[in-house]
Structure 1
Amino acid sequence: MNIARAPLNADQGTLPRLPGWVTSRRGESLEDVAFLSGAALGHLHLVVMHADVPQSLLRERLALRAAEASVAQSGRSERAADLRDAVHLQRPGDLPGPAGEIYQQWRQAVERPISVAALHRAVSTYSETTRAVWLGRLGAGQGGPVGRASAVIEAVLSDHPRAEHVALILADAVLAQALGWKHMVPLFGGGLTPRDLRKTGEALRLACHHAAVVSAVEATRMAADLTRRAARLHAVAPKLRAKGAGAAVEMFLTRDSVAPSALPLPDRAARRLCDRLVALGAVREVTGRDSFRLYGV
């Protein structure tokens, strides 16, 4: 497999910068906050459409952020490192546990283009009738994108108050669909607090607009960082001689974390490749352990 060449203009300066007034102002009225969220989401749209941004990797990293928040909202203590272990160190036949399952659902939601079929796995624990009602809201509803997403959250939680992560997954899907994005980009999942999710009506819409601003800023910062890191990986890729290195590079560019055993190389060669990429400054070891290591851009 040929290793892809580095993208042109992949430094931070090529990405559109978020106007300072979006982050420096804090509106309190629904009208003011809606204006700021519209500006933030309009800016994020440029980032999501930018050719140099590793979009799959960005969605994976935002899915981890959303899953960590969802797990905390459920009252569990697992954090990002635990979620990575639960999912990426699974062996065939293993179960990821409740926290790992939430993380898997977020990852599955961002993996494929938005559709009813792709989102079924995120709500598979609920009855077929309930799933049909919730998923029927995709592409439906009136008002702006954030208002429609807020209505989905309220509808899901009115039926099942403990289905927070399902409500957030569907809300992010509705937002992305309303904005014309092919894939879901987790924003509400990492931006709304448990207190926000207890709100209804205008108060919930206000919280959703606030969350859209905060999360769009975070997603833009993350996109700039990942674009620089991806450019570095592209730059060193021609130095890799191992058979299967091209496919391995592609995995690093699309996944938050990768275990050496998941790479398309023999075990020893996979570990050597990971060590080589770390030495070249192209990937990082993310666990800090001497064994059961995970690597990511």
Structure 2
Amino acid sequence: MESEKTINPQSGYLALFIFLALVAAAIALGLNGNIGSTIIVAIVALLYTGGFIVVNPNESKVLTLFGKYTGSVKQDGFYWVNPFTTKKKLSLRALNLNGQQLKVNDKSGNPIEIAAVIVWQVKDTAKAVFAVENYVQYVNIQSEAAVRHLANSFPYDNLEDESADITLRDGADEVSAILEAELNERLARAGIEVVEARISHLAYAPEIANAMLQRQQASAIIAARKLIVEGAVSIVEMALDRLSEKQIVELDEERKASMVSNLLVVLCGERAVSPVVNTGTLYH
């Protein structure tokens, strides 16, 4: 596999001066009636123009001479090379790949929709030209494969796998770092460097979206109820301790149970309660 070899050809301005001299010589020979020499010099001048190349900023030219790689010109400027050299232009600018939405199964087997945005650029021009047939198509295909593999490697969330340290929904930074590392490994063959990779779309597939939404809502309600009950128990415990500490009233076990029941109803109920004044005793 060819590795990049950066070269700096001779300046094109000197070559341009020689070309103009050849043109002037051809005109002078033509005016003197020397047709044969004029034709020869004109042909040489015409061939000479094939060696001029212009390299713009953030561009490169990959040069091959009769099937042999001779080097890559990455410094912007005006140059002249062998006229028989084949020149292929490559952009060194950063490019965005907005991946299409893919329908795949996550680690738990749930169908999900996922897409990624990838920022990439050519790092090794020789590999980009000679190692793969079409480096742009190679980036597209390998990026899709990497996103599919990522989705298969992690669950969507912790509902199915509570022991998962990283999930697609909550571990955005970790997932992006893993995706970027895998893409760099896959695309190194083509001389491509991935600057950044991010998940741009993540959702359950439509056929299970409603069921998963209900499940998430149920989990949220359970978690909220658990927090409310824990808080209510703490408040009741504190109330009993303060009553006992201040010696406001002496409560036997049955009265404590009644008080605990009433406080828990008040604290854990979803609706406002209406107080009931007991004018008698607990036993009447």
Q: TM-score range by the shorter chain?
A: under 0.3
The structure whose RCO (Cα within 8 Å, separation 6+) is larger is: 1
Report which of the two structures shows the higher radius of gyration computed on alpha carbons.
2
More helix by share: 1
More strand by share: 2
Q: TM-score, normalised by structure 1?
A: 0.21
